[in-house]
Amino acid sequence: MQDSPITATVDFHRDGVQHGFLKLPHSHDDSAWGSLMIPITVARNGDGPTALLTGGNHGDEYEGITALLKLAGRLRAEDITGRVIIVPMMNHPAALNGSRTSPIDKGNLNRAFPGSPTGTLTQRIADYFTRYLVPLCDLAVDIHSGGRTLDLLPFAATHRLADAELARRCLEGARAFGAPNTLLMAELEGDALYDTVVEAQGKVFISTELGGGGTTTPETVALAEQGVDNVLRWAGILPGAARSATTRMLEIPDSAHYLQSEHAGLLEFAVNLGEPVKAGAVMARVYSMERTGAEPAEYRAPVDGLLIGRRHPAKVAMGDTFAVLAVPL
């Protein structure tokens, strides 16, 4: 496979703190020989483990972007042992646009892995992470939230893996993050996720969902900041022990726990986010916006569970995931 067109303006093997860019050539109407400039920070202090910290995999998920921009501004080389690589906005065009996907090629970065050096701009970013950044790290933390279309209970997440030892380390790292909930997740479209390429290389992967609605709160940003610090301490990169926190263990066992609407209209929930629901109970109704007098479509819980995620906008289209259920472990 040919080399990536992306070049880094930082030296990943130099001690100290460097702020620079991942430069991806992008010729367009306003700049014939232009480049996408993806901000990156590298802090290194001798030999030790490497953490790859990312946000903005989706451009409308701001908790990770905010926390990592702040970390990049305050982290000092003398504070750490090893190396920390920070990319606050993986999909930089999407982050600048405030959208889930790139405005340039409509690429959803977290559905573009492992990527291609000759594909779309989004696929080229994915390829650089797959073949250049992930091999440098021992663990990766990718901070997500619900963006503009979802509200989620804050949680750190990992997956069931065939490699039992890797699965154990990933779960240990997710619990160390210290979110109120820790999930084992069955993913939709798992083969195309960043998670999958990190785990396939035998690296610890920790994901999060820390709220949503296309905004942040002081609580969700603080949770992201403390969680990253906890993981860095757990990995031995920062000194001291991770701050202890009580976390509830949950699982999204399969795709049946993601509920999609079969109707378009106005969505009314009968259950609040975080509340338990019994199988067969009404969770939501969708009202027609085309006519009056029509009975709403009722959606009932397929299993006992906890409403861990819900659609944020009240308007819903056919195929939209409007609810996500988790079960206790």
What secondary structure letter does DSSP report for 273? Answer: T
Q: Are residues 204 and 113 part of one domain?
A: yes
Q: Which residues face 51 on adjacent strands?
A: 84, 139
- Tell me if 76 is assigned to some domain: yes
Cα dist. 23→39, 53, 241, 272 in Å?
9, 18, 37, 44
234 Cβ contact list (under 8 Å, min separation 6): 172, 173, 176, 242
Query: In this predicted structure, what is the pLDDT of residue 187?
Result: 83
113 occurs within a structural domain:
yes
152 and 180 in a common domain = yes
* Residue 1 belongs to some domain of the structure: no
Find the domain containing 12 and state its range: 7-252
- Token pair, residue 61, equals 């998920």
Let me know if residue 272 belongs to a domain: yes
104, part of any domain:
yes
123 and 268 belong to one structural domain: no
In a domain, 2, yes or no: no
Among the three residues 201, 233, 252, which one is the final residue of a domain in this structure?
Answer: 252
Is residue 23 included in any domain, yes or no?
yes
For the chain, residues with pLDDT lower than 50 are: none
Together in a domain, 192 and 274: no
Q: b vs e for 210-239, b when ≥16 Cβ sit within 10 Å of the residue's Cβ?
A: bbbbbebeeebbebbbbbbbbbbbbbebbe
Q: Answer yes or no: do 133 and 58 share one domain.
A: yes
Whether 130 and 224 share a structural domain: yes
Asked if residue 312 and residue 180 are part of one domain, the reply reads: no
Looking at 252, 279, 299, the residue that finishes a domain is 252
Query: CA–CA separation, 18 vs 86, rounded Å?
Result: 10
Measured at the CA of 319, the angle between CA 124 and CA 288, to 5 degrees, comes to 140
Residue 286: strand pairing partners: 267, 297
pLDDT of residue 292: 96
The answer to whether position 94 is within a domain reads: yes
Residues 226 and 264 in one domain: no
Residues 163 and 184 in one domain: yes
- Count of domains in the chain? 2
Last residue of a domain, one of 252, 278, 309: 252
The CATH number of the domain holding residue 309 is 2.40.50.100
d(Cα 230, Cα 121) in Å, to the nearest integer? 33
What pLDDT score does 52 carry? 98
Same domain, 176 and 277: no
Coil, helix or strand at residue 84: strand
159, 254 Cβ separation under 8 angstroms: no
Statement to judge: residues 186 and 64 lie in one domain? yes
Question: How many Cα atoms sit within 13 Å of 61 on the Cβ side?
Answer: 32
Peptide bond connecting 154 to the previous residue in cis, omega within 30 degrees of 0: no
Residues 211 and 234 both lie in one domain? yes
Amino acid at 126: A
Contacts with 49 (C-beta within 8 Å, 6 or more apart), sequence order:
82, 83, 138, 139, 235, 236, 237
